[in-house]
Amino acid sequence: MSDAEQRYQQFIEQIAGKDELFVLSDGESFALLNSDGEECLPLWADADSAQQWSNDPALVPRAITMDVWFERWVPGLTGDNIQVAVNPGESGDAVVLSAEELADAMQAGDG
Q: For 91-104, what is each residue's pLDDT tens digit?
A: 888 999 999 999 99
Q: Which domain holds residue 47?
A: 3-108
pLDDT the model gives residue 91: 81
Low-confidence ranges of the chain (pLDDT < 70): 110-111
Contacting residues for 29 by C-beta, under 8 A, at least 6 apart: none
**Cα angle 60-65-67, degrees, rounded to a multiple of 5:** 155
DSSP, res 67: H
Q: 65, 20 in Cβ contact below 8 A?
A: yes
pLDDT the model gives residue 55: 86
pLDDT the model gives residue 37: 84
Strands 20-25 and 60-65 come out as: antiparallel
pLDDT the model gives residue 28: 92
Please tell me the total count of domains within the chain: 1
pTM over 0.85: yes
Q: What is the CATH number of the domain that holds 51?
A: 3.40.1350.90
pLDDT the model gives residue 110: 52
